[in-house]
Chains A and B, each alone.
Chain A
Amino acid sequence: MNLSDSKKKLALAGVICGLVAACLAYFGNPANMAFCIACFIRDTAGALGMHQAEVVQYARPEIIGLVLGAFIISVMTKEYRSTAGSSPMIRFVLGLIIMTGSLVFLGCPLRMVIRMSAGDLNAWVALIGFVLGVGSGVVALKKGFSLGRAHVTNKAGGTVLPLLMLGILVLSIGTTLLKASEAGPGSMHAPLIASLIGGLVFGAFAQKSRMCFAGSIRDIIPMKNFDLFSVIGGLFVVMLIFNIATGRFVFGFGTPGIIAHSEHLWNILGMYAVGFAAVLAGGCPLRQLILAGQGSSDSAVTVIGMLVGAALCHNLGLAASGTAANAETGEIVAGAVPFNGKVACVICIVACFVIAFTNKRKEAK
C-alpha cells in the first residue's frame, strides 16, 4: 500500500508519529519534550562528553533510531542514494545556527508543535518567528539562493552516519563509557528498547511521508500546497488528545516544569533563525536526520553541525533556561535567555542573511 499518495494517508503518517511521541512521553520522556530533535541531539552530545552540562547527558536512542529507520526503509524501497558535495561547510554552519536558535527557544520545530499541543503559549509565540524565518528563506530561494547540487558518490559514503549512530548504540548498551544524567531532563527517558523502536518507526514514516516542519510551511507560502502540513496536523491532533486525556494540557505562559521560558522576543528570534536556516539547508532538524539516513552526506554534515552547536551552546553558556519551581522553597524562578545566548542568536540571524544572499544559483552551461 502506498502510504503517501493522498492527504488522508499523509495525515495518518503524522498520527502514527504522534502516537510514537505520546507513547514515549507516557513511558518516561520529559514532559512535552516527548520527541525533540534538538534536545535529543544536545543530550547525545552530552553523553559523548562534548559538553559538561550534567543534567542533559544521555545517548538518546530516538536519534539513533530515526537515522537507522530512515536508512533501513530507504534501502528496502530502493530510495537510498549516497550523495554529497553541496556546500558542506555552509551546511555545517547552518547546523550550528539551527541548534543555537533551537536552544535559545528551547526546542526544535517538532518540539514547538508538541509544546503547542500541550497549551504552552510560548510555543505559539515562537511559531510567529518560525513562519517569518521560513518566509525569509523562501524569499532567498526566489532570489536565486542555492548551495549547489549534490552528486552521487561512492555507496559507502552515505552509510557513515548510520554506522556512527550504530556505534553510539553499541557503546550505550555494552559499555559504561558514555555519560548519563542522574538528575534533570537527561535522566528522564523511556526504556531504551521503547525509545529505539519508537525512533525506528518514526524514522521510517518520516522518510516515506517526507515529513518536514520547515518544508510544510515552505510549501504553503509559494504553492498553497498543504500535503506536508497535513502530516504535521495529524501529529498535532494526536498530541493534543494525549495531553488533554492525561492531564498534561496546561494553557498559558510561564508554567513551571515544562522546560520553556517566556521571553517572547527571544522565542520569536530563536525560531526565526531555525526557520530561516532550515529552509536554506533544505529541511528542519528532523528532515536532516532522515536525509542523512537515506544517504545524504550533506545532511550528515548538517547533523554534525547541530551536534557541535549543541556542545558549544552549553560550553559557552548560550542555551536558555526553563521556568522552574525551586524544589525547596517552591518559589517560581523565571526561565531566561542568557546575554551570550542573545548575542549568539543575533549573530546567527545575520549569518543566515549573509549565507542567503551570497550563495547564488549558477546557470547550467
Chain B
Amino acid sequence: MATDAARLPGGIDSRRLIGRARRVDLAFAGAGLLVMVVAMAMLMALVLDLLVDGLPRLSWDFFTNFPSRRPGRAGILSAWVGTTLVMIVTAALAVPLGVAAGVYLEEYAAKNWITDVIEINVTNLAGVPSIIYGLLALGLFVYGFGLGETILVAGMVLALLTLPVVIVATREAIRSIPQEVREAAFALGADQWQTVRIYILPAATPGILTGAIIGLARAIGETAPVITIGALTFIAFLPPAPIQPEFPFLSFEWLNSPFTVMPIQMFNWISRPQPEFHVNAAAAGLVLLAMTLLMNGLAIYIRYRIRKGMR
C-alpha cells in the first residue's frame, strides 16, 4: 500500500522527490549559514588585522603628537581635533535642516508635484557618490564663494552628505507616531505647529537621534569629499581655540582654519612606502574604527530601546 501511495501519476517516486527537495533545502540553509559566517569572519579579520598592526602603536603620545616625518614620533593630534571641529559644523548644519525638511515632508506637504520633486530628489541625493559632493564643494564653496580649504567648507560638504540620512530618519520616526496623537492635539485646540512642537517632535526624538548619529558616523569616515576640496595632509598646528581668555570669549576664527581629519591622516600614512608609516595608519584606523563603531553601537542601542518601549 505504502509503495503505491508513494507513486505519483507518470511513475515518479514521490519519496525520492521529497527526499531531494529536503536535501536541497538543507543545503541552502548550509549555504546561508556559510555566507553569514564568512561575512562575520571578514569583519573579525578586518578588526584583528588593525589590532595586530596598530595596537602596540597606540599610546598617550600618539594622541598628543602632531604628524611628523619620523614615523615613531608622529601622532594624530591635529587629525582628531580637526575631525571633532568638522563634525560640530556638520551636526549644527545637517541636523536642524534635515529635521525641518523631514517635518515638512511628513506633516505639512500637500500631495502635489512640488512634493514629488522634493521626495525623488532626496532619494536621489542619498545615492550620489560622496566624491561628487566633493566636486560641488570644490567648484562652489572653495572657488565660487572663495571660502578656501577650511573647516567650515569641510563641515558644509559633509553636512550635505549627511542631510538625506537625517531627512529619511526623521520621516520614518514621524511616520511611526499614531494618527490619534495628532487628532487628540487638534481636538484640544492646538494648531499644526503646536502639535508638531509639543507632541510630534518629542515623540520622534529617539528615532531622529538614531538617524543623526548613523549619518554623522558615516561622515566621520568620509575621506573622498574632503580630499577633493584640497585639504592639506600635513598640519602641525591646531586651529585657534573657540574659547578666548578676553572679551567676547567666543571666537569663530577656527572655522576659517586649514585642517586635517582622521581619515585623511590615515590615507596619507597608507600611501607612504615605508612600513613604519603603515603601522601609524593601522593605529589611526583603530581610533577611527572605534569612533564609528561606538556611534553606530549607540544608535543601534537607542533603536533597540525604542522597539522595547513600543512592545
Is chain B found bound to chain A in the same assembly?
A: no
Binding site for A on B (CB under 8 A): none
